[in-house]
Structure 1
Amino acid sequence: MLAAQALSQNYDDPLSGLVVHEVDLPQPEPGWTSVRVVATSLNMHDLWTLRGVGHPADRLPIVLGCDAAGYDSDGNPVIVHPVIADADAGGGDETLDPGRALMSERYDGTFAEYVSVPRRNLVPKPDWLSFDEAACLPVAWTTAYRMLFTKAEIRPGDRVLVQGAGGGVASAAIKLAAAAGAVVYATSRSADKRAAALAWGAHAAVPTGERLPERVDVVIETVGAATWEHSLKSLRPGGAIVVAGATSGGDPSASLNRIFYLQQRILGSTGCTRTELVAMLRMMQATGVRPVIDRTLPLAEIHKGFQLMVEGTVTGKVVVHPPAPRS
């Protein structure tokens, strides 16, 4: 089958280690099953793997990709929950299992015609959701959902700042928070992405680092060092910053005096549970919220999609289509 594998890692030239070529079909372990991938999508996680950040080189080669929607071995349309873990080890929350792994970390991922996953990780795909839309959800959208509703516990009327409008998590957070009745503020260096944020339901969108009209109750932070100080200054006393990434670097100034004096809360968030994925699908059905898709590409052109991510010109998600089954 055709697949996109990471063969090597290079921080400055990450795409040099990504190769699209023929590999063996996956052989499911006991309790696992194969899924024919109809659509998958790109995530920053894939780029970090290619850069050698958080992914040991001794795990290469590995098929990349965390998201997938397709058909299970019985022909049922499914979405793949991307966290492989023992839910009992995390007290019912598989993201707290010390041995958890995201697809493509220890097991081959979804940039392929077929992927092998635990049966527990299959979620029925609703018929109101296309395969392309479904492929956007497992990582970016569920990350945003967990940040907003599990960690921050936002309510209608809450003021929410989303840093870095345009990325997969940020676009999801803007849409989900607005659908929940929050007053959403967004930031971006790009005028086009600020305009997109307004179209997605943001109350206002301002250039990165610009002062907001009011302080917010919650900040959704995935950018890191470049926006950290602005996030703290934009947050009301007693408010919370939910952190799920640091694309601009992970060592910002702690500003401890501000944090303790204003009793601000810093909440970490990683991945999501299968239960949260199902809950988010119910919310999407009720509200009509759908993912933002920047473009679709065949698997053979996956390098083009990643290059756009490196350049920061993607708005929403890039969806990738593996080849259809060959006779």
Structure 2
Amino acid sequence: MFAAVARRTDPADPLAALALGEWPEPHVPDGWTVVTVKAAGVNHHDLWTLRGVGVVPERLPIVLGVEAAGLDEDGREVVVYPVVGDPGAGHGDETLDPGMRLLSQEYDGTFAERVAVPARNLVPKPAGMTFEQAACLPGAWLTAYRMLFGKAALPPGSTVLVQGVGGGVSTALIMMAVAAGHRVWATSRSPRKRELARSLGVDEAYPPGARLPERVDAVMETVGAATWDHSVNAVRPGGVVVVAGATTGARPVINLSRVFYRQIGVIGSTLGTRDELVALLRFCDRTGVLPLVHQVLPLTDAAAGIAALASGDVFGKIVLTT
């Protein structure tokens, strides 16, 4: 079968570590099953893997890809939940299992014509959603869903700041927050992306670091070092900063006195549970909110999709199809 593989790692030139071509059919352990991949979402996780972040050299080469939608062995349309973990070991949350792994981290991922996953990781795809849209859900959109509804847990009418608009998580945050009745502000270096953010329903979009009209109830932070100080300054006393990424660096300078004096909550968030993925699908079905797809490419053009993500000139999700 055809696959896109991290054959090695290269921090300076990640695309040089990518290999496209024939790959063995998936190994299927007991309790696992095979999904025929119809669409797979591209994520920063794929770029980090090629750079050598979060993957051990002994596990290479490995098929990339965290997100997918496709057909199960009986031809049913499914969404693939990407976390391989035991909910019991994580106190009901498989993302807290100390042995938790993601597809493309310990096990071959979704950038292939077929992928093996635990049978419990299959969730029925909503009939009114394309494979391309559904492939955006189990990674970027699930991350955003947990940040907004699981971690921040704000009442309708709250004010939410989304830092660094453009990618899959940030666009998902905007669309779901608007649908949930929040007032949403966003930031971006790009005037074009700020205008696109307004088209998604944000009340206002600002350059990074801009002084806001008032402090917000919650900040959704996936940028990291470049926006961290602004995030802490922008949230009201007693508010919360939810962190689910650090694309510009994971070691910002932290003003602890502001954090404790203003009693700001800093909450980490990673993906979500299978149950939260089911809830996300219901949310999309109920509200009519569907993932924003920036570009669809064939799997054979995976390098172009990863390069586009690395360039930062993306608004929404890049999706690969088989």
Give, in whole Å, the separation in 2 of the partners of 1:233 and 1:10.
Answer: 36
The match for 1:91 is 91
Structure 2: 5+ residue stretches without partners: none
The match for 2:177 is 177
Please tell me whether residue 189 in structure 1 is matched to residue 205 in structure 2: no
Please tell me whether residue 267 in structure 1 is matched to residue 267 in structure 2: yes
Please tell me whether residue 314 in structure 1 is matched to residue 314 in structure 2: yes
Deviation of 1:19 (Å): 0.6
Deviation of 1:162 (Å): 0.4
Give, in whole Å, the separation in 1 of the partners of 2:224 and 2:27.
Answer: 39
Q: Is the 8 A contact 2:54 2:105 kept in 1?
A: no
Deviation of 1:285 (Å): 1.0
Deviation of 1:24 (Å): 1.0
The match for 1:118 is 118
The match for 2:70 is 70
Structure 1: 5+ residue stretches without partners: 323-327
Q: TM-score, normalised by structure 1?
A: 0.97
Give, in whole Å, the separation in 2 of the partners of 1:311 and 1:127.
Answer: 34
Give, in whole Å, the separation in 1 of the partners of 2:112 and 2:315.
Answer: 24
How many aligned positions are there? 322
Q: TM-score, normalised by structure 2?
A: 0.99
Deviation of 1:311 (Å): 1.0
Deviation of 1:195 (Å): 1.0
Equivalences for 1:46-85 in 2 at 5 Å?
46-85=46-85
Q: Is the 8 A contact 2:174 2:201 kept in 1?
A: yes
Look up the SS of the partner of 1:53 in the other structure: coil
Deviation of 1:42 (Å): 0.2
AA partner of residue 321 (structure 2)? H
Give, in whole Å, the separation in 2 of the partners of 1:204 and 1:76.
Answer: 42
Look up the SS of the partner of 2:238 in the other structure: strand
Look up the SS of the partner of 2:24 in the other structure: coil
The match for 2:286 is 286
The match for 1:151 is 151
The match for 1:241 is 241
Give, in whole Å, the separation in 2 of the partners of 1:63 and 1:27.
Answer: 13
The match for 2:203 is 203
The match for 1:325 is none
Deviation of 1:215 (Å): 0.6
Give, in whole Å, the separation in 2 of the partners of 1:144 and 1:107.
Answer: 24
Give, in whole Å, the separation in 2 of the partners of 1:54 and 1:81.
Answer: 19
Deviation of 1:318 (Å): 0.4
Give, in whole Å, the separation in 1 of the partners of 2:278 and 2:313.
Answer: 31
Note the alpha carbon deviations across 1:117-166, whole angstroms, 9 max, x for none.
00000000010111000001110000000001111102211110000001
150-159 or 109-118, which moves further after superposition? 150-159
Give, in whole Å, the separation in 2 of the partners of 1:76 and 1:230.
Answer: 46
The match for 1:257 is 257
Runs (4+) of structure 1 exceeding 4 A deviation are none
AA partner of residue 260 (structure 2)? F
Give, in whole Å, the separation in 1 of the partners of 2:272 and 2:133.
Answer: 18
Note the alpha carbon deviations across 1:176-213, whole angstroms, 9 max, x for none.
11110011000000111111111111111011111111
Give, in whole Å, the separation in 2 of the partners of 1:47 and 1:154.
Answer: 32
Look up the SS of the partner of 2:105 in the other structure: coil
Give, in whole Å, the separation in 2 of the partners of 1:309 and 1:57.
Answer: 24
The match for 2:213 is 213
Look up the SS of the partner of 1:150 in the other structure: helix
The match for 1:298 is 298
Give, in whole Å, the separation in 2 of the partners of 1:282 and 1:213.
Answer: 34
Look up the SS of the partner of 2:142 in the other structure: helix
Give, in whole Å, the separation in 1 of the partners of 2:299 and 2:95.
Answer: 29
AA partner of residue 88 (structure 1)? G
Note the alpha carbon deviations across 1:255-276, whole angstroms, 9 max, x for none.
0010011000100001110000
The match for 1:103 is 103
Of all paired residues, the percent bearing the same amino acid is 56
CA-atom RMSD in angstroms: 0.7
Give, in whole Å, the separation in 2 of the partners of 1:286 and 1:75.
Answer: 25
Note the alpha carbon deviations across 1:79-111, whole angstroms, 9 max, x for none.
001111001111111111010011110000000
